[in-house]
A and B are shown apart, each in its own frame.
Chain A
Amino acid sequence: MTGGASVAASPAGTRRFSALSVGGVMGWLALLILLLAAASLQIGYVGFPALDVIGAAFGVGDAKLVTIVQELRLPRTLLALLIGAAMGMSGAVLQGLLRNPLAEPQVLGITSAAGLGAVIAIYFGLARLFPYALPLCAMAGAGIVTGTLYAIVSRGSSGLTLILAGVAISGLCISLQSLAMNLSPNPWAVNEMIFWLLGSVKDRNFTDIALAGPFIGGGCSVLLLAGRALDALSLGEDAAQNLGFDLVRVRIMAIVGTSLAVGASVAVAGGISFIGLVVPHLLRPFIGHMPSRLLLPSALAGAALLLAADIFIRWFDVGTELQLGVVTSLLGAPFFLYLIFKMQGRFQ
């Protein structure tokens, strides 16, 4: 919302849940994550007693079971949590930075750009030359697009322009991905690209976590530091600067943090979208709109949501296992449409 349109006073102006503390919400989310993680570890080709599985995750019990749980089930669960957290927090930061409730890595084309970076790494065989090529290319793609979007916003463009720019950038990245597949002489590489772009945390191992984890952790730490400045930005850029914040520094932090977190996520799990859009909206009724208060809860809620989606696709058997990215898009895209309708008339 902007300052221009004033809304008539209503006596029911307070929100019912805003009394809930951030700590309280985070406690509930942590509990939810534990329950989901325990459930996620149960799912596999062979069924074991539930408590044995949980013990095995901590290295207790039958050696074979420990191997199955720690090598196969635990990485998938942890990766879903990590990526969900990265996406949730990136979404919350981008919405705060751009002051637009529709901002999100996927909507703005950042996920597609990271995907394009990764496709380029696969296409030119860089990924085989050195293991960090793929995540680095993905992060570079994400960084370039986030920087471009900020340049568009800082020229005073409206929220609508920003979203349209995201659509255009997303379209360009997807067509360049298609071009790479089109030109690829090797059908096996095409298959690799497509499967990878659909997005999944299936059959991942601790190498993937070791690859993405530090970047996601680093990215989220950088994003957390921007929280205060995002609060000040609620009052507009001039007021934020007058409150003592260096906007250039804030933009760089948000761009670097988002690129690291989203780029690393896309690098190991492919295109997983809309978590960052949905999560802050789910939390606002409980903890209000202050951007800094949303950051950590968004990371936790993103982790919970993505893990829940991953549990759902393993439980919901349609013969072929659904890809995680496909399911989050199926849930997220209608939500995006719903938000657009809800916000009609807000963009000038």
Chain B
Amino acid sequence: MTRLQAQDLTVDIAKTRILSNVSTEFVSGQLTGLIGPNGAGKSTLIRTLCNLLKPISGSVHLDGKAVSSYRRKDLARRLSYLPQGHIMHWPLEVERLVALGRLPHLGPMQSAGPDDQAVIDKVMARTEVEALRRRTADTLSGGERARVMLARALASETEVLLVDEPVASLDPYHQLHVMELLKGLARDGRLVVCVLHDLSLAARFCDHLILMRDGGLLAQGPTEEVLSEDNLNHAFSVRPLRGQHEEQSFVLPWARMPAHTNPHS
């Protein structure tokens, strides 16, 4: 069982406090959604979890060992991070792009072998991008690009997968597709954390939710509990619409709260 723990994280960026005293824990087999309004500190939390940002106090532990004390390659073999925006600076061939995920497993001058190729084929099949193998990245649609980048992260074969806004700017079909993939990975026993803006996707797919606001945690726990009326009012200043369909509950942000009750103003 993999365990990723954050203890009393306080993070400053350019002398501005972004996170203060955040403590939480993630375990394998669960898809945890990180939700909250813009500027709540979701991306900062996720980047601190993968040791890209140094907290000014507090610590992140992966299986009892501080992430900052792992050797770079060792951490890279255990934890992969998919930044938001699906950055690709060069129009690489899709297969080569996915193969970049194997870099943590290769020596400095070693090139990818048949075992690596088998992993690459497997993750491309899982994310349904095999047909795009020889295409260059600049010719992909948004949905294709999102799945290719997910395949790249999966190619590292890590137990922990941290994903920042994987469905942003995707159409509904591709949003569902990516969420199903993430859910499936969690069902296979991985630890998956995902930043989301869409409350209905969070409600349907996530096992646990962490609700952030102003650099702190407003609520964390099972999805149903976190998406309470009070929490949504307080975090997003919206009144939700709730419903049931096919024995699953959904939440839609329905209306803004009146200005005098709006904690945002």
Contact = CB atoms under 8 A, between A and B. Distances in A.
A243 B79 CA distance: 9
B181 interface: no
Given A234-B100, A242-B81, 6 more contacts: A1-B88, A9-B140, A13-B138, A14-B93, A241-B52, A288-B136
Contacts, number: 114
Interface in A156-204: none
A244 B76 contact: yes
A210 interface: no
A235 B87 contact: yes
Contact of A291 (B75, B90, B136): B90
B103 A231 contact: yes
A6 B141 contact: yes
B190 interface: no
Interface of A: 1-4, 6-10, 13-15, 18, 99, 225, 228, 231-236, 238-239, 241-246, 288-291
A291 B92 CA distance: 10
A233 B144 contact: no
A236 B72 contact: no
Pairs of residues from A and B, 10 with the lowest C-beta to C-beta distance, nearest first: A13-B139, A244-B76, A289-B90, A13-B135, A236-B87, A99-B89, A3-B87, A244-B73, A242-B81, A3-B85
Question: Which interface class (under 10, 10 to 19, 20 to 34, 35 or more) fits B?
Answer: 35 or more
A292 to B, nearest CB: 10
B37 interface: no
B100 A242 contact: no
B175 to A, nearest CB: 15
B142 interface: yes
Dominant secondary structure of chain A at its interface with chain B: loop
Contacts of A233: 89
6 contacts: A1-B90, A13-B135, A14-B93, A99-B89, A236-B87, A288-B93
Contacts of B79: 242
Contacts of B52: 238, 241-242
Given A239-B81, A242-B79, A244-B104, A7 B139 contact: yes
A113 to B, nearest CB: 25
B108 interface: yes
A18 B139 CA distance: 15
Contacts of B122: none
B116 to A, nearest CB: 14
B96 interface: yes
Nearest to B50: A242
A2 B90 CA distance: 8
Interface string B162-202: 00000000000000000000000000000000000000000
A3 B90 contact: no
A289 B103 contact: no
Given A228-B103, A234-B90, A289-B91, A243 B85 contact: no
Interface in B123-168: 134-136, 138-142, 144-145, 152, 156
